Amino acid sequence: MKSLRMRFVIAAAALVVAAGTASAQTLIADIPFTFQVGGAVLQPGEYRLTLDHNNGLAKVQVTNMYNREGVFAMPIGQRDPEKKWIAGGSPVLEFECGATRCSLNRLWDATRDGSYQFARPKLGKDEPSHLAVIVMRPAAD
């Protein structure tokens, strides 16, 4: 009887692990400029973004595909995605760019109702700014 119970416990644990793994999503982005995210400054390049939606909390791992350097970023909230993003149907990154730097502002993975918003350094009071949008693609894995 104990061995049957142990098998059920192991099977239940495997299901929990599988359910947690199923909530991860991997996307690829070609980012042509230096940017800030998660307190780090990253160089232009091809990046793998792994979104983990476990336990109602989201975290994003941003990894340079050339040198394998990366950082974790935690969203600070959610907003509705832009209508043009929804119409395009592809996942996107939005950066807020000033005169000398760009910072990750939002991420929409094209599967959720909301886009994730990230903390970023404030631009100067009179510093001109613009938004840069990068379309991502699913990772081939």
- Average pLDDT by stretches of 10, the chain with 141 residues: 45 42 80 93 95 80 92 92 94 94 94 89 87 93 64
Any idea where the domains of the chain sit in the sequence? 23-138
pLDDT score recorded for residue 42: 94
CA distances from 115 to 87, 93, 106, 136 (A): 14, 9, 6, 14
How many C-beta atoms lie closer than 10 Å to residue 88's C-beta?
Answer: 15
d(CA 100, CA 105): 16
pLDDT score recorded for residue 11: 40
pLDDT score recorded for residue 22: 47
Three-class secondary structure of residue 12 per DSSP: helix
What does pTM read for this prediction?
0.80
pLDDT score recorded for residue 125: 85
Report phi then psi at 103, rounded to 5.
Answer: -135, 140
- Write out the DSSP string of 3-69: HHHHHHHHHHHHHHHHHHHHTEEEEEEEE-S-EEETTEEE-SEEEEEEEE-GGG--EEEEEETTT--
How many C-beta atoms lie closer than 10 Å to residue 133's C-beta?
Answer: 15
Helix (H) or strand (E) run with residue 106 in it: strand 102-108
The residues with which 31 forms a beta bridge, in sequence order, are: 45
Tokens standing for residue 137: 């693609």
